Amino acid sequence: MVKAVNASGSPETAPAPTAPTAPPAPPRAWWARAARFLLRDRPELLLSPLALVLLVYLWYVVTSAGLVAPVLLPSPSAVGRALKVLLTAPWFPPNLWTTLLEAILGFLIAAVLAVAVAVLMDQIRLIRRVGYPYVVVLQVMPSVVLAPIFIVWFGFGISSKIVVSVSTAFFVILVNTLSGLASVPENSRLLMRSMCASRRQTFFKLTMPTALPYVFAAFKTAATLSLIGALVGEFITARSGLGRLLTQFSFALRQDMMFATVLVVGAVGIALYGLVAFLEKKVIWWR
């Protein structure tokens, strides 16, 4: 090893040669990144559509082989043609709007009433001890049993269908909201008291934010239940609505139109659920 001498006369060691660095790896192609994302990070984005395609294919095989009569299970192509007829019919939008109005109004009324009653029962424990057994009794009673009573009380118009929708969604929101209000840790309550927080401040800054995930979980369930309640009321008696269309198609043995209407009902339910989930992300922004 050769040593150099600097200006002061002291020997100086020459730096050792460095190993050549490897060239940077070439960037992955977009399809490789997409495949990695689908297979490792979010496999449900690939498996869910595949499951639907497999289900429709099995449906096609069963109907094409004649294993099931068309009057019981129409083919996918027949349902597709019926769906096109349904969506382009001039009488379809009024029926869809009627069911949407009943479901949305029923959900909103149930949400306001249930949250208000839950807060009242949480703040005044005597009301909770007295009223909770009746809540349990009414919750286990299906809306199909109450629907004829509501129709007699509120008539054959849209009002009775909204009441049935409210009764279907009300108790789910009430029970889940009560659970959320009771889920506040006792240590957090003691901390708020030690900071001289008032009862109102404790409720709005601790109790309600803690209960919001429970409330929105109930809202997502109640959004679809309100649609079910509206359809149940329309099954019994109605002048318009998707439930009335289902009843008419059933009596006429139009299974293809029934399946098409069921697909529309499913799409409406998914849309209501997605809207509540979107609002949940906006309201509970800290999660």
Tens of pLDDT, residues 57-75: 888 888 888 787 777 888 8
pLDDT at 255: 87
For the 87-283 domain, the top CATH level (class) is mainly alpha
Q: What is the pLDDT of residue 136?
A: 78
Task: Parse the chain into domains and list their residue ranges.
Answer: 87-283
Question: What is the CA angle 195-196-201, rounded to 5?
Answer: 95
pLDDT at 270: 92
CA 282, CA 277: separation in Å to the nearest integer?
A: 9
Return the sign of the alpha-carbon dihedral for residues 84, 90, 93, 98. Answer: negative
Decide if 226 contacts 168 (C-beta within 8 A). Answer: yes
Low-confidence ranges of the chain (pLDDT < 70): 1-35, 37-39, 41-45, 143
pLDDT score recorded for residue 24: 58
pLDDT tens sequence across 62-117? 888 878 777 788 888 888 898 998 888 899 999 999 999 999 999 999 999 999 99
Mapping DSSP to helix (H, G, I), strand (E, B) and coil, where does residue 3 land? Answer: strand
Beta bridge partners of 11: 5
Stated as kind and residue range, the H or E segment containing 4 is strand 3-5
Tracing tokens 């009300």 back to the chain, one arrives at 170
* Structure-block tokens of residue 152: 């007699």
Q: What phi, psi does 5 have (nearest 5°)?
A: -115, 125
Q: Could you tell me the CA-to-CA distances from 105 to 17, 108, 110, 155, 180 in Å, in that order?
A: 78, 5, 8, 17, 24
